[in-house]
Amino acid sequence: MSAHVVVVGAGLTGLTLAFRLREAGLDVTIVERLERTGGQIHSVRDGGVVVELGAEGFVARSEALVKLSEDVGVGGALIDQETTLTYALEDGALRALADGEAARILGFQVKKEQRGQGIRSLTSGMGQLPEKLTEVLSEGITWRRGEAVEAIHPRNAGLNVTMASGDVLEADAAVVTTPTPAAIAMLGAFEAAAQLSVGRRLSNASATLVYDRDRIAHPLDGSGFIVPAAAKGHGFRACSFVSTKFARDLPPNTAILRAFFRPTDEDLTSRDEASWIALAVECVSPVLGIDGPPRQAWASAWPRALPIYDDAYRGAVAAAEAALIPAGVWLAGSHFHGAGIDAAVLSAERVAAAIIERT
Residues 312 and 347 reside in one and the same domain:
yes
Flag whether 72 is in a domain: no
Of 118, 77, 81, the closest CA to residue 247 belongs to 81
Residues 177 and 240 reside in one and the same domain:
no
Residues 179 and 271 reside in one and the same domain:
no
Question: Which of 266, 290, 307 corresponds to the end of one domain?
Answer: 307
Residues 302 and 167 reside in one and the same domain:
no
Flag whether 53 is in a domain: no
Q: How many domains does the chain have?
A: 2
- Using the 8-state DSSP alphabet, how is residue 316 labeled? H
Q: Indicate which CATH number applies to the domain containing 218.
A: 3.90.660.20
Longest dimension (CA), the chain: 68
Residues 166 and 249 reside in one and the same domain:
no
The predicted pLDDT at position 326 comes to: 95
Q: Indicate which CATH number applies to the domain containing 185.
A: 3.50.50.60
CB neighbours of 282 closer than 8 A, spacing ≥ 6?
none
The predicted pLDDT at position 109 comes to: 47
Length of the chain, in residues: 359
Per the DSSP assignment, residues forming a β-bridge with 27 are 4
The predicted pLDDT at position 88 comes to: 92
Flag whether 77 is in a domain: no
Residues 188 and 212 reside in one and the same domain:
no
Flag whether 89 is in a domain: yes
Instruction: Give the pLDDT confidence of 39-66 residue by residue, as tens digits.
Output: 999 999 999 999 999 999 999 999 999 9
Give every residue of the chain whose pLDDT is below 70, as ranges: 1, 100, 102-117, 230-233
Question: Which of 307, 326, 349 corresponds to the end of one domain?
Answer: 307
Flag whether 143 is in a domain: yes
Instruction: Give the pLDDT confidence of 211-265 residue by residue, as tens digits.
Output: 999 999 999 999 999 998 755 668 999 999 999 999 999 999 999 999 999 999 8
Of 337, 299, 301, 302, the closest CA to residue 317 belongs to 337
Residues 213 and 294 reside in one and the same domain:
yes
Residues 185 and 247 reside in one and the same domain:
no
pTM: 0.93
Residues 243 and 225 reside in one and the same domain:
yes
Flag whether 44 is in a domain: no
Look up the domain containing 13 and give its range: 4-39+130-199+308-358
Residues 33 and 148 reside in one and the same domain:
yes
Flag whether 64 is in a domain: no
Residues 100 and 205 reside in one and the same domain:
yes
Question: Which of 307, 322, 340 corresponds to the end of one domain?
Answer: 307
- Using the 8-state DSSP alphabet, how is residue 222 labeled? S
SS3 for 349? helix
Alpha helices in 213-340 (DSSP H): 242-245, 265-270, 273-288, 311-324
Residues 303 and 320 reside in one and the same domain:
no
Q: How far apart are alpha carbons 352 and 331 in whole angstroms?
A: 11
Flag whether 47 is in a domain: no
